[in-house]
Amino acid sequence: MTRNFRFLVAALCLCAVGNKAYGQIPRIWYCGAQGNNLIATQMDLGNNRYKLTITGSGDMEDYYAAGRWMGTSCLSSDIYYTVIIGDSVTSIGNCAFMVYCSYHIDTVIIGKSVTRIGDYAFYGNQYHLSSVTLPNTVTSIGNNAFAGCGELTSVNIPSGVTNIGDGAFGGCSITDSLIIPSGVTRIGNYTFSSYGFTGSLVIPNSITSIGNGAFEWCGFTSVSIPNSVTSIGNNAFNNCRSLNSITISNSVTSMGRSAFSMCSNLTSVIIGNSITSIEELTFSNCSLLNSVIIPNSVTTIEGWAFQECHGLTSVTIGNSVTTIGERAFLRCRGLTSITCKAKTPPILGINVFSFVPNNIPVYIPCGTTSAYRAAPQWNSFSNFIERPDTTDYTAVKCRNVGYTDQNFTTPIFSAGTYYRTFNLGGGCDSVVCLTLTEYPVIPVFSYSGSICEGGSYTDANFKNITLAGTHYDTLLNSNGCDSVICLTLSVSNVTLTNYWVSICAGAFYTDNHFTNLTDAGTYYDTLFSENGCDSVVQLTLSYYPSVPITNYSASICEGDSYTDNNFTNLTQSGTYYDTLQNINGCDSIVRLILTVSVGIVETPLMASLRVYPNPAGNQLIVEIAGQARNDVRLSRYKRDNVAWRAEN
């Protein structure tokens, strides 16, 4: 059962007046989006399942009503929808499929001409939408486009996408590998924020900023910030409780408040040498973080920056730090040493080192012991140890690749801490300390794709792949190390439906796919199927065998009439036709040749009647009862008697 609606109702917040208005079909009401040339067709598939197909060409309009989002009066949660957006639709409007209470869209097929997915387009489809395949034509994904789709575990972001809006995938449960395309330059606020995001993450070196809460609550285990990033927003990785290592590149100049707070499994962090300030709560409650080196570029450590880092055993404070905010290292009870390279003791806020053992060694520059013993709060420590001037720096290398620089010219192949001492005289040597780490092993990033039979697959990593199977590509990642990309490609068969039909010669054939066919032959129609591949219908049209004319003949006597199954009351000689339908519904022809005979009809007198022709006299000699007369000529014939007259 199908209903067509003009696209005043367009896409599908799918609000309803009653649960199943219009009989048993839920009514598409005034929520969704409209377009001037779009039509929505709704079909009842049975078992509380419906299909909404949007056809036509052009953009869906953005949907607003009375200055607010719609979607507060939606279908019952036991209704499930498959939404098919046709190949000529070019954009999905703001709020087009946004719902608050129905959670009923479980399948979405987006046509291959869509370039833009609007703000809040699929917002709130919380419980059933598990995967979305975006066509390669998409370039922009709007703010909160898929936010709140809590069961969405798999989504591909096409290589042509250049904009991913704030909150676009917030609240989704992505478990597959997520590769952000290289055309994207910004990761917006709360774009991927979700405790359900447990897949792996590749951030391309086109990204320049990571917004507030961009990956808050995410469950991935490691992340490398590429050299292109200059800023990391507030709460960007807050509560990423599975994250165990983080490398912040030298290009990053600012990190927001609580950027990595509550990362309870974080054990290792490398801070690039362009950071000038460690903001409030940046690494607070990272309880397994065991050591941290604050680079010489940092001038300020704000309050609570490392509070409650119970596993922290050593901290190195760079030589440019002038102030450390209140409670910055509160309850870091596990500290066994502090190294402060600043020749002037940094000014401390209240309770900076509260609950830190005061007898641990505090390593300070040569000749600064008296200054530290006189400085407020520093003077609570009892074990100052002067060290030669030490230049500490960090570097990161790829696995199995040797590291060299101006201080270490022999290749170093293992991660670790390396020192080199330069004798400067005067009692203080200069020590160079290199902390060398390795980039996290880049796993094989796997994702899937699909094409139609006869098509080819191309993205940023693979080109013109036509065969189903697993395909690999080895790339240099943003750190200059090798990474492996794995594509699992499936090929959907083109559905071919064959049927055969025969018609009568001269007739027309019409059905759902073909119209007014008159000639025998093979005909094709190509349809759009739900998997995005074409479906082909093949018709073989033939004629029924021609039916020959049925001929037969009959004769009657003059004055009689002829009747049978095909003809009635014929009295004249001639050829007669009748047209009939045979078992195939085609015409067949019956032809009758009828003869009317004139002659003498035998009567009871025939026993005494004799007739002799006399050609010479143009007469008949009629003999009756032995008497011959030649002047009698037959003048009239009837069936039961003979009338004659004598001519003398």
pLDDT digits (tens, 9 = 90+) for 272-281: 999 999 999 9
- For the residues 232-250, what does the mean pLDDT come to? 92
Give yes or no for residue 587 having a pLDDT over 70.
Answer: yes
Q: Which of 637, 539, 634 is nearest to 597 (CA)?
A: 637
Residues 503, 522, single domain; the answer is yes
**Confidence class for position 74, pLDDT limits 50, 70, 90:** very low
pLDDT of residue 310: 95
| Residue 66: predicted pLDDT | 33
pLDDT band at 564 (very low <50, low <70, confident <90, very high): confident
Statement: residue 28 has pLDDT above 50? no
Q: How far apart are CA 226 and CA 328, in angstroms?
A: 28
Q: Which of 209-218, 239-248, 401-410, 521-530 has the lowest mean pLDDT?
A: 521-530
- Of the two residues 623 and 67, the one the predictor is more confident about is 623
Q: How many CA atoms lie within 13 A of 551 on its CB side?
A: 3
pLDDT at 9 over 50: no
Lowest mean pLDDT among 5-19, 58-72, 267-281, 465-479: 5-19
Average pLDDT score over residue span 35-58 = 82
Element spanning 373, H or E: helix 369-374
| Higher-scoring residue by pLDDT: 616, 399 | 399
585 inside domain: yes
- 563 and 587 in a single domain? The answer is yes
557 and 587 in a single domain? The answer is yes
Q: What is the pLDDT of residues 129-149, one digit of tens each?
A: 888 989 999 999 999 999 988
Instruction: Indicate whether 482 and 519 sit together in one domain.
Output: no
Mean pLDDT along residues 545-573: 84
Token couple for 552: 């037969």
Ranking 159-173, 259-273, 357-371, 578-592 by mean pLDDT, the lowest is: 578-592
* 393-399 average pLDDT score: 85
Give pLDDT, residue 220: 83
pLDDT bin (cut points 50, 70, 90) of residue 266 is very high
- C-beta separation of 178 from 156 below 8 A: no
Most confident of 104-113, 271-280, 506-515, 635-644: 271-280
- Please give the average per-residue pLDDT across 74-86, as a whole number: 69
For residue 258, CA distances in Å to 177, 236, 306, 364, 385 come to: 26, 8, 10, 29, 33
Confirm whether 583 is domain-assigned.
Answer: yes
In this structure, is residue 273 part of a structural domain? Answer: no
**Domain contains 451:** yes
% of the chain exceeding 70 in pLDDT? 79
Return the pLDDT at 151: 87
Rg of the Cα atoms in the chain: 48
- Residue 352: predicted pLDDT: 97
Domain-embedded: residue 119? no
pLDDT of 629 strictly over 80: no
Please compute the mean of the pLDDT values over residues 55-65 and round it to a whole number. Answer: 77
Q: Are 243 and 266 in contact (CB under 8 A)?
A: yes
* Contact call for residues 223 and 201 (beta carbons, < 8 A): yes
pLDDT at 642: 41
Residue 603 scores a pLDDT above 60: no
Q: Is residue 282 part of a domain?
A: no
Q: Following DSSP, what letter does each residue of 500-551 receive, concatenated?
A: EEEE-TT--B--SS--SB-S-EEEEEEEE-TTSSEEEEEEEEEEPPPPPPEE
From CA 160, how far away is CA 264, in angstroms rounded? 36
Cα–Cα distance measured from residue 282 to residue 236, given in angstroms and rounded to the nearest whole number: 10
Range of the domain at 636: 604-646
- Note the pLDDT of residue 403: 92
State the pLDDT at residue 614. Answer: 61
Is residue 624 a contact partner of residue 608, using CB atoms and an 8 Å limit? Answer: yes
Q: 59-63, 403-407, 472-476 — which is least confidently predicted?
A: 472-476
Secondary structure string (H, E, C) spanning 356-370: CCCCCEEEEECCCHH
DSSP 371: H
- pLDDT of 296-347, one tens digit each? 999 999 999 999 999 999 999 999 999 999 999 999 999 999 999 999 999 9
Q: In this predicted structure, what is the pLDDT of residue 356? A: 97
More confident residue, 36 or 573: 573
Region of poorest pLDDT, from 20-29, 194-203, 475-484, 492-501:
20-29
- Residue among 200, 196, 217 nearest 477 (CA): 200
Tokens for 167?
Answer: 């909150």
- According to the 3-state scheme, what is the secondary structure of 2-14? EEEEECCCCCCCC
Where does the pLDDT of residue 609 fall: very low under 50, low under 70, confident under 90, or very high at 90 and above?
low
Mean pLDDT, the chain, as a whole number? 80
Residue 431 counted as domain residue = yes
pLDDT at 45 over 80: yes
- Sheet with 430-438: list strands edge to edge: 389-397, 430-438, 416-422
Question: Which two structure tokens, joined as six digits, stand for 357?
Answer: 């053992």
Q: What is the pLDDT of residue 590?
A: 83
pLDDT (average), residues 624-630? 55
Tally of domains in the chain: 5
The C-alpha atoms of residue 24 and residue 44 are separated, in whole angstroms, by: 8
Average pLDDT over residues 623-645: 47
- Given the structure tokens 């032995």, which residue do they identify? 626
Average pLDDT score over residue span 252-256: 95
Residues 502 and 513 in one domain: yes
CA distances from 52 to 17, 36, 55, 98, 113 (A): 17, 18, 10, 15, 18
The better pLDDT of the pair 580, 323 is held by 323
Which residues sit opposite 81 in a β-bridge?
50, 105
Residue 108: inside a domain = no
Mean pLDDT for the stretch of residues 561-577: 87
Which pLDDT belongs to residue 422?
Answer: 78
Residue 175 has pLDDT above 80, yes or no: yes
- Choice between 377 and 33, residue whose per-residue pLDDT is larger: 377
